[in-house]
């Protein structure tokens, strides 16, 4: 399957669809002792897998939050099987509710006194329909979760992140989960794709406002992962049909759905790799979990000097 060049799909020659040694905490030195990591949407899918990989990386504490308490509890149990020593905090939180987010931030400040990694992973989608036919509440809910929810998490936790960077004399990390689809405009995708596009710009604002205070913010495309959000195959088939007909994607509509074969572990390992080192050369930029990290490292000078992997208009 071939995506348009501007999506950066083939930015590295080697592409992955599953975790590999360089980003696997059980096979490479990605240990991050002492760190406190917070992951939204960690009750299932990408969020749960990411939490498990950080447990393997030996972090000090993991903050789990999602709207469904039972799912968070399941993640809690799985982490304890991997690393009984890690401190765990669980919250049933709606990240679009400012009071709930502030209460969580207050608890983490009191109980941990630091935060090294914030991963804004919580996501949703509406039923893809043309603008005039879509459900207004579902459309706005998508924007609320991806933009308002991320904004509230940033507003509540950036102060603690900045304090941690200063006290530890280190770089702290924010990862905002986006999607390669944000680089495209498919019929019906205005809520999901539009909000994920805006999320990448929000990451740039975090970098521009807080880089000098030790905050490194990256927008991460998780790959084509068949998570709960991707269960409604109808819109995906229609999107694949549209791209194929327009010559924007070299595959049949059904191939578009069948291409959702990347594992959650690929994204999770990529997140752990991103926060292992002080990768400030990626601050404010878009990164795909499918890219080979060694080849990405080799492109460091090219990326910085060319100011690549950011949203820009071609004129």
By annotation, the residues acting in catalysis are 192, 196
Q: Can you list the positions of beta strands (E) in 154-250?
A: 172-177, 215-221
What is the rounded CA–CA span in Å between residue 282 and residue 309? 8
Q: Which residues pair with 286 in a beta bridge?
A: 219
In 3D space, the residue among 279, 301, 276, 300 whose CA is nearest the CA of residue 23 turns out to be 276
Q: Is 43 left (phi over 0), alpha (psi -120 to 50) or beta?
A: alpha
User: 8: which 2 tokens?
Assistant: 């950066």
Q: Which long-range contacts (CB under 8 A, 24 or more apart) does 247-251 make?
A: 248/3, 248/4, 248/184, 249/1, 249/2, 249/3, 249/4, 250/1, 250/2, 251/1, 251/2
């Amino acid at each position: 399957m071939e995506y348009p060049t501007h999506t950066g799909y083939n930015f590295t020659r080697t592409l992955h669809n599953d975790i590999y040694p360089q980003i696997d905490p059980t096979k490479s030195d990605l240990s991050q002792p002492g760190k406190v990591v917070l992951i939204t949407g960690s009750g299932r899918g990408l969020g749960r897998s990411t939490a498990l990989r950080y447990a393997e990386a030996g972090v000090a504490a993991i903050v789990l939050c999602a709207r469904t308490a039972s799912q968070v509890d399941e993640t809690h149990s799985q982490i304890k099987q991997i690393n009984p020593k890690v401190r765990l905090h669980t919250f049933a939180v709606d990240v679009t509710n400012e009071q709930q987010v502030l209460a969580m931030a207050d608890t983490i400040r009191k109980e941990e006194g630091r935060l090294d990694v914030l991963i804004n992973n919580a996501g949703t989608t509406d039923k893809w329909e043309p603008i005039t036919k879509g459900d207004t509440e579902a459309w706005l809910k998508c924007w609320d979760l991806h933009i308002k929810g991320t904004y509230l998490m940033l507003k509540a936790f950036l102060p603690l992140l900045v304090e941690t960077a200063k006290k530890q004399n280190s770089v702290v990390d924010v990862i905002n989960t986006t999607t390669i689809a944000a680089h495209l405009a498919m019929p019906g995708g205005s809520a999901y794709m539009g909000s994920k596009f805006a999320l990448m710009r929000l990451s740039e604002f975090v970098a521009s406002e807080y880089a000098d205070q030790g905050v490194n913010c990256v927008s991460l495309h998780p790959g084509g992962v068949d998570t709960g959000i991707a269960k409604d195959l109808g819109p995906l088939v229609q999107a694949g049909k549209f791209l194929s007909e327009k010559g924007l994607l070299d595959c049949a509509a059904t191939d578009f759905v069948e291409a959702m074969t990347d594992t959650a572990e690929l994204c999770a390992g990529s997140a752990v790799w991103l926060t292992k080192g002080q990768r400030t050369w990626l601050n404010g930029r878009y990164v795909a979990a499918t890219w080979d990290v060694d080849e990405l490292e080799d492109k460091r000078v090219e990326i910085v000097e060319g100011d690549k992997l950011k949203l820009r208009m071609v004129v």
